Amino acid sequence: MENPENPQRFLTAAAAGLAGCRVCGTANPGGARACTCCGSPLAAADPASLQRVWAWLAAGLIAYVPANVYPMLRTTTFGRSSENTLIGGIAELFSHGSYGVALIVFFASIVIPVAKFLAIAYLAVSVRKLAALGSHGRLVLYEVVEFIGRWSMIDVFVVAILTALVQLDFAAAIAPGMAAVSFAISVAFTMLAAQSFDPRLIWNAESENLNDHA
């Protein structure tokens, strides 16, 4: 506290003995279990809560493997059936010259999920020590992950739409594959992992480190 090299020192609700509400921002008296304003359960920022983040993340990662291995779509045209995996579907779009759409699906199904796994893992690891990316950078990362993660669901909807639409008896029919289910589960689990992460922990590491130096 007395360190003059810290020009800006912020007082958190937890440090002031109060319980801040993550939903409505009310500063509740310390030890309160539910927020007096909105009724949300109150919990202090606790690194132990990272276990939940890791659990959801691991589950999401496990579900992402079959999503890439098994077929996403089974297309039957004039009695001949072919199967398309996630990557295969993107390659097909690309070979047909639909570069823009191929890029959208590539981002939604490959880039965003993989980047999300890495980003959440990085956020969870960096809580313990002062990371290369500053607190502000990590907050931006967290907000991007929260915002963008749900858009990965696009490919699941595409499968549902194609299955519903392409039912022309013998001429053409499309059926969903196992990958659609595991991909949906993977996206849901990683969304839960991101939601389990308490952004207040980003700043906790910072203040603890500053205390160590003081």
Partner 1 sequence: MHTDQLIACPTCDVLNRDEDVKPHTVARCARCGTVLAAPKSGAMTRIAMLSLTALVLLAAAAGFPFLELRAQGLSHQASVLDAVLAFSSGPMAPLSLATALLIVLLPAARYCALIYTLAPMALGWRPAPHAAAAYRWAERLKPWAMAEIFIIGVAVALVKVSGLARVGLGPAFWAFAALLVVTILTDNAICRLTVWKTLKTRSAS
CA trace torsion 92, 64, 189, 108 (10° rounding): -30
Task: For residues 120 and 156, give the distance between their C-alpha atoms in angstroms, rounded to a whole number.
Answer: 22
The CA distance from 3 to 173, in Å, is: 71
Element containing residue 167 per DSSP (H, E)? strand 167-168
Max Cα distance, the chain (Å): 79
Name residues contacting partner 1, limited to 50-109 (CB under 8 A): 77, 89, 93, 96, 98, 101, 104-105
Query: Which of 184, 186, 190, 197 is in the footprint of partner 1 by CB under 8 A?
Result: 184
Residue 139 CA to residue 62 CA, distance in Å, equals: 26
Interface residue with Zn ion, options 13, 18, 21, 90 (CB under 5 A): 21
Query: What amino acid is encoded at 122 in this protein?
Result: Y
Cβ 97 to partner 1, closest distance in Å? 10
- Order the strands of the 80-84 sheet from edge to edge: 80-84, 73-77, 172-176, 167-168
Q: Does position 195 bind partner 1 by CB under 8 A?
A: yes
Residues 20-59 within binding reach of partner 1 (CB under 8 A): 20-29, 37-40, 45
Residue 39 binding partner per list partner 1, Zn ion, none, with a CB distance cut-off of 5 to 8 Å that depends on partner kind: partner 1
In the complex, the smallest distance separating the C-beta of residue 55 from partner 1, rounded to whole angstroms, is 19
Q: Which residues bind partner 1 (CB under 8 A)?
A: 8, 10-14, 16, 18, 20-29, 37-40, 45, 77, 89, 93, 96, 98, 101, 104-105, 135-136, 139, 146, 149-151, 153-169, 171-172, 176, 178, 180-181, 184, 188, 191, 195, 199-200, 202-203
